[in-house]
C-alpha cells in the first residue's frame, strides 16, 4: 500500500497563516514536491488537516491537488447535534480522511472508545478513511501497560464494526509522551507496537484485511531527522506529523525520504 503522510496543523494557525502555509505546500508540491519527485510519485498519499472552518480556503489554495483530512468528526449523522460537524458535511469539502480519537481529544474532552467507534462508523458510511489514533501515556508506559492500553483502544474502537473488512483503515500509533515532546519513539519499541497492532487487527478480522486495507502510521515528534529510521520499521506505512508539518520545507523533506 502507498505510504500515507498527514500534516496535522491542530489549532495552531489562524486563517491568514493557514492560507500562507497552504500556499507554501502547494509550491513545494509543484516544484520540489510530488510531481518533481518521480521516485516518490505513486508511492505516497498526502493529506493536510487544517482547522475545519478553514477547509474552503485551504482547499481553494490546493486546487484539489492535495487532499484534506479533518481533525475530528461527529459520532452522529445529521440531526440536532449543536456544534458538531457530520461526516457527510466533511465530504462536501473534499475531505478524504478523518483523524479520530487523537489523544488530545481523549484527554481534553474525554472521548471514549465507544464514541470513537461511532465516529469510525460515520466515516465508513460516508466513504471517509478513518485514521484511528492509539497510544499510551507516560504513566502507562512506565507501568509497562503499553500493550494492554493499545489493545484495549483497538478493540474498543474496532470490534464488531461491520464496515470492516469492506472499508480501508489507518491506525496511527501516537504515544502520548512523544507528542510535541521532541522525543520520538525508538525503532525497536515501534517495531513491537506495530507487530502488536497487526496481531490485534488480524485477530479481530483477518490477516488479509490487514494486508490489503490497513495502514499503520506513526505520530509523535516525527521530523525530517528521524523519519527515515521510523519509516524503515516493518509495518509502518507513513507518518502523522504535527509540529514539523508547520514548516512546509521540512514536511516535504520528509516525503523525499520515501523509498
Q: Minimum distance between the CB of residue 90 and ligand PGA, rounded to whole angstroms?
A: 18
Residues numbered 204-233 forming contacts with ligand PGA, rule: CB under 6 A: 219-222
Using CB under 6 A as the binding rule, whether residue 240 contacts ligand PGA is answered as yes
Whether 159 is catalytic: no
Residues numbered 61-80 forming contacts with ligand PGA, rule: CB under 6 A: none
111, 136, 168, 174: the active-site residue: 174
Using CB under 6 A as the binding rule, whether residue 51 contacts ligand PGA is answered as no
Give the binding range for ligand PGA (CB under 6 A) out of 58-66, 71-79, 112-120, 173-181: 173-181
Residue 118 near residue 81 (C-beta atoms within 8 A)? no
Residue 126 vs 221, nearer CB to ligand PGA: 221
Residue 177 near residue 138 (C-beta atoms within 8 A)? yes
Cell representation of residue 161: 464494526
CA distance 231 to 238: 7
Give the binding range for ligand PGA (CB under 6 A) out of 136-144, 146-154, 195-203, 239-247: 239-247
Q: Minimum distance between the CB of residue 10 and ligand PGA, rounded to whole angstroms?
A: 7
Q: Which of 7, 116, 194, 241 binds ligand PGA (CB under 6 A)?
A: 241
How long, in residues, is the chain?
259
Give the binding range for ligand PGA (CB under 6 A) out of 80-88, 150-158, 172-180, 186-194: 172-180
- The upper half-sphere exposure of residue 96, i.e. CA atoms within 13 Å in the direction of its Cβ, equals 15
CA triple 168-170-174, angle to 5 deg: 170
Whether 174 is catalytic: yes
Rounded to 10°, the helix 146-158/187-204 angle is 40
Q: Minimum distance between the CB of residue 221 and ligand PGA, rounded to whole angstroms?
A: 4
CA distance 49 to 249: 17
CA dihedral 244, 50, 173, 250 (to 10 degrees): -20
Q: Minimum distance between the CB of residue 212 and ligand PGA, rounded to whole angstroms?
A: 25
Q: Minimum distance between the CB of residue 201 and ligand PGA, rounded to whole angstroms?
A: 20
102, 136, 168, 235: the active-site residue: 102
Residue 8 vs 167, nearer CB to ligand PGA: 8
CA distance 190 to 80: 42
Q: Which DSSP string corresponds to 81-147?
A: -TT---HHHHHHTTEEEEEES-HHHHHHS---HHHHHHHHHHHHHTTPEEEEEE---HHHHHTT-HH
Using CB under 6 A as the binding rule, whether residue 180 contacts ligand PGA is answered as yes
Give the binding range for ligand PGA (CB under 6 A) out of 80-88, 147-155, 201-209, 234-242: 234-242
For the annotated catalytic residues, the residue numbers are: 102, 174
List contacts with ligand PGA (CB under 6 A): 8, 174, 179-180, 219-222, 240-244
Amino acid at each position: 500500500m502507498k505510504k500515507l503522510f498527514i500534516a496535522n496543523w491542530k489549532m495552531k494557525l489562524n486563517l491568514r497563516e493557514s492560507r500562507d502555509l497552504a500556499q507554501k505546500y502547494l509550491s513545494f508540491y509543484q516544484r520540489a514536491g510530488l510531481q518533481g519527485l518521480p521516485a516518490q510519485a505513486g508511492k505516497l498519499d498526502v493529506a493536510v488537516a487544517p482547522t475545519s472552518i478553514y477547509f474552503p480556503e485551504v482547499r481553494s489554495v490546493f486546487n484539489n491537488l492535495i487532499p484534506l483530512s479533518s481533525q475530528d468528526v461527529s459520532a452522529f449523522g445529521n440531526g440536532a447535534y449543536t456544534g458538531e460537524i457530520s461526516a457527510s458535511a466533511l465530504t462536501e469539502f473534499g475531505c478524504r480522511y478523518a483523524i479520530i480519537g487523537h489523544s488530545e481529544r481523549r484527554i481534553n474532552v474525554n472521548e471514549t472508545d465507544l464514541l470513537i467507534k461511532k465516529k469510525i462508523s460515520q466515516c465508513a458510511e460516508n466513504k471517509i478513511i478513518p485514521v484511528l489514533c492509539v497510544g499510551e501515556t507516560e504513566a502507562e508506559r512506565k507501568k509497562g501497560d503499553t500493550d494492554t492500553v493499545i489493545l484495549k483502544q483497538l478493540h474498543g474502537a474496532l470490534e464488531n464494526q461491520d464496515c470492516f473488512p469492506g472499508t480501508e483503515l489507518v491506525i496511527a500509533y501516537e504515544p502520548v509522551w512523544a507528542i510535541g515532546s521532541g522525543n520520538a519513539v525508538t525503532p525497536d519499541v515501534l517495531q513491537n507496537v506495530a507487530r502488536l497492532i497487526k496481531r490485534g487487527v488480524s485477530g479481530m478480522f483477518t490477516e488479509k484485511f490487514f494486508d490489503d486495507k490497513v495502514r499503520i502510521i506513526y505520530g509523535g515528534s516525527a521530523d525530517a531527522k528521524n523519519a527515515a529510521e521510523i519509516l524503515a520499521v516493518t509495518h509502518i506505512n507513513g507518518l502523522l506529523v504535527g509540529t514539523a508539518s508547520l514548516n512546509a520545507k521540512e514536511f516535504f523533506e520528509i516525503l523525499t525520504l520515501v523509498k
